[in-house]
Amino acid sequence: MKILARAYCWWNPFDKDIEDLVSNCTTCQSNRPDPTAVPVHCWLLPNKVFERVHADYAGPFMGKYLFVLVDALSKWPEVHIVNNMTAETTVRLCGEIFSRFGLPRVFVSDYGTQFTSREFKQFLKNNGIVHKQGAPYHPATHGQAERFVQTVKNKLKAKGCQQKSLHHILSTILMAYRRAMHPATKESPAMMMFGRQIQSRLDLMLPLTTTENTEYVRTIKSFAVGERVAVRDYLASDKRRFGKVVEPQANCTITWC
């Protein structure tokens, strides 16, 4: 438009007036291409494991939903198969996971109703957890959970998963993922989370390592003649019977009082 106008006339401010004309044209703005995408803001790396977690739901898949929670530092994934994705179910699942790994400092999710509900927000507030949410309509800002959701779904489809074998195949996928080196950390999620590698059937191919056996020293209790003792009598109604040592032998002889 500027080139065409310059062929016939010019005024001051020439460029600004034409740009204002186009920017105020509803038809032009409705049909213009999307602006160039800017780099997505990256989350800062946490200082310790399970300090920040990312959660999301996948499904429906074979009539079920998958609740996915990923630790931002170790990339350790938790996946639970549920019948619905209500706020009540989300609170219950988070409570179970937090009881094993402890409370995170930051919980990241999308704007799903289960995460924005009063019940879930109160759950986070009671546990001192900061709730952060990605930008609406920009799944890339919630990439930790989004990427793993796609990974799980692709693996389940590649396995030809059926509903009756869903739990078994999901466990197999999680086992392989948790012990495999993650490209971002150069360590397996298990090593990052626990400081050790979890064992699988692959470890059966390795030779057994033997450790030096330390001799077990058994302490033998000795009793002096005349010493009072208590004996557990499993046949009598009273649990304990009291007696006095008459003569020490291999099996002490006790006279009952």
User: Is residue 231 domain-shared with residue 189, that is, in the same domain?
Assistant: no
Amino acid letter, 29: Q
Q: How many CB atoms lie within 10 A of CB 205?
A: 6
How many CB atoms are closer than 10 A to CB 144?
Answer: 22
Residue that is last in its domain, among 163, 181, 198 = 198
One domain for residues 167 and 240: no
Instruction: Please list, residue by residue across 87-121, b when 16 or more beta carbons sit within 10 angstroms of its beta carbon and e when fewer do.
Output: bebbbebbeebbeebeebebbbbbebebbebeebe
pLDDT at 91: 95
The span from the CA of 168 to the CA of 91, in Å, is 25
Q: Is it the case that residue 104 has pLDDT exceeding 90?
A: yes
Residues 134 and 233 in one domain: no
How many domains are there within the chain? 2
Residue 96 has pLDDT above 80, yes or no: yes
Residue 44 makes CB contacts below 8 A (sequence gap 6+) with none
What's the confidence (pLDDT) of residue 101? 93
pLDDT of residue 142: 58
Q: Are residue 191 and residue 248 in the same domain, yes or no?
A: no
Q: Are residues 63 and 132 in the same domain?
A: yes
Q: How confident is the model at residue 124 (pLDDT cuts 50, 70, 90)?
A: very high
Residue 112 lies in a domain: yes
Q: What is the pLDDT of residues 113-122, one digit of tens each?
A: 999 999 999 9
Cα–Cα distances in Å, from 114 out to 57, 83, 105, 140, 169? Answer: 10, 14, 19, 20, 27
The per-residue pLDDT for range 126-170, each reduced to its tens digit, is 999 999 987 665 555 556 777 888 888 788 877 777 778 788 888
More confident residue, 253 or 76: 76
Range 228-246 average pLDDT? 80
Please check whether residue 194 lies inside any domain of the structure: yes
Burial code (b: 16+ CB inside 10 Å, e: under 16) for 187-200 equals ebbbbbbeeeeeee
pLDDT at site 123: 95
- Calculate ∠ Cα 81-83-88, nearest 5°: 95
Encode pLDDT of 166-215 as tens digits.
Answer: 888 888 888 988 888 888 888 999 999 999 888 888 888 888 776 655 56
- Nearest partner of 58 among 27, 80, 31, judged by Cα: 80
